[in-house]
Amino acid sequence: MSSKNTVGTIVISDEILKGQTQDTNSHFLFLRLYKLGVKVGKISTISYDIDEIASEVNDLSQRFQYVITSGGIRPTHDDITLEGIAKAFNKKLILY
């Protein structure tokens, strides 16, 4: 399905998986994408784990033109989302 204007989305949130909060971002995002003519092919909700993030980013990047992540990015020193994305592409993460 890696045709033009396709998106795979990944929601990274232990809180959503535990039922502690709701995913309200996806509805907002998908409505906007639909209006822009972008086809959302998949949404995944995964836990806050480097290997799981890397695996899902790798999978969706093979299948869709774009991959959007939501959640996960924390304003703390222990954020692992960017590390998981770097791992998916076998790249070293360099922060400035």
Q: Per the domain annotation, does 37 fall within a domain? A: yes
The overall pTM is greater than 0.85 = yes
Q: Per the domain annotation, does 78 fall within a domain? A: yes
As a whole-number percent, the residues of the chain with pLDDT over 70 amount to 90
Q: Please state, in angstroms and rounded to a whole number, the distance separating the CA atoms of residues 14 and 34.
A: 27
The enclosing H or E element of 7 equals strand 6-12
CB 59, CB 43: distance < 8 Å: no
Q: Per the domain annotation, does 11 fall within a domain? A: yes
The domain total for the chain is 1
Residue 9, burial from CB neighbour count under 10 angstroms (0-12, 13-18, 19+): buried
Q: Per the domain annotation, does 28 fall within a domain? A: yes
What is residue 57's predicted lDDT score, i.e. its pLDDT? 98
Q: Per the domain annotation, does 1 fall within a domain? A: no
Q: What is the CATH number of the domain that holds 57?
A: 3.40.980.10
Q: Per the domain annotation, does 96 fall within a domain? A: no
Q: Which domain holds residue 30?
A: 6-88
Tens digits of residue pLDDT in 22-62: 998 999 999 999 999 999 999 999 999 999 999 999 999 99
